[in-house]
Amino acid sequence: MKKENRQKSEHEFLRAFLQNKAAVISTVIILLIIILSVLAPFLTRYDETGQDLLNRLMPPGNGHIFGTDELGRDVFTRVFYGTRVSLLIGLFPTVLAVAVGTVAGVCAAHFKGAADFIIMRLADVMLSIPGMLLAMVVLYTLGGSLTSVIISLILMEWGGIAVVVRSAALEIQECEYVTAAASIGAGKLWIILRHILPNLLPTLIVLFTLNIPSSILSESSLSFLGIGIQPPQVSLGLMTGTSRQYLFSSPHLVLAPAVMILLLVLSFNFLGDALRDILDPERKTL
């Protein structure tokens, strides 16, 4: 692709993006949530783990926007600290899973034969264990913590990504420009870096965006069950899980983290959908 062409296609992408209402609105909401949770320490005068046993289970109001929890901690503060963890969980393991899945998928498509067979059967193995139970195996061995949740998410996600990347890479390999490049003596690595990866980019962007919400969902579920992130670390799922016993007496304790999880997941899903419509209108690969 020539430089001018690439600039032109970037320009087109930007225009299509700005015309898509769902894409713009969800991006704005996501950016707002990111800014608020980064600035969280400056927005609140409370500490996310600071207890105030005299003011336990307070309803919203009185200086506590979302009230206080069973240990008198400010729920508003905790929701934004929990959101930081959710964002980290949404982005970091997903980047790694996409990286692993891409390398695996491209290798399988490129080397074919035995490598293809082994990589794809390994992906099948990962995909035939329900995600939650695969994570439970990891968490049994490593114990509940942020790191082990991240490792389980990568294990859960790379297989599905590899399958999609492989089929997309196979399609690109069949294209005339790749055969042409090979016929004038281009090396394998050159073809992968110069032709296959750039053309995979739209697929990868969509895969990445759609895996963010599922990472956030999985982490919150594991932490809700008490086997994911452990206190005193804050997590939206963990907050929902511990507040469960006050569901009928102080529903706001459950509502605040639940709404935040929903908002995050919904915005990323909307964004992923919109990106897919823009980048892959014929739904060839996804």
Dist CA 93 CA 82 (whole Å): 17
Dist CA 11 CA 233 (whole Å): 43
CA 11 from chain center: how many Å?
26
Binding status of residue 30 toward another protein by CB under 8 A: no
Q: Which is nearer to another protein, 181 or 255 (CB)?
A: 255
Q: Which is nearer to another protein, 152 or 199 (CB)?
A: 152
Q: Which of 82, 131, 202, 228 binds another protein (CB under 8 A)?
A: 131
CB crowding 219-237: b at 16 or more within 10 Å, else e: bbbbbbeebbbbeebbbbb
Sign of CA dihedral 90, 93, 99, 102: negative
Binding status of residue 138 toward another protein by CB under 8 A: yes
Dist CA 177 CA 190 (whole Å): 13
**Segment interacting with another protein (CB under 8 A) among 8-16, 39-47, 102-110, 219-227:** 219-227
Q: Which is nearer to another protein, 25 or 182 (CB)?
A: 25
Binding status of residue 124 toward another protein by CB under 8 A: yes
Paired tokens of 1: 């692709």
Q: Which of 162, 196, 205, 227 binds another protein (CB under 8 A)?
A: 227
Q: Residues in the site for another protein, rule: CB under 8 A?
A: 121-122, 124-134, 136-141, 213, 217, 220-221, 224-225, 227, 237, 240-241, 244, 247-248, 251, 254, 258, 261-262, 265-266, 269-270, 273, 283
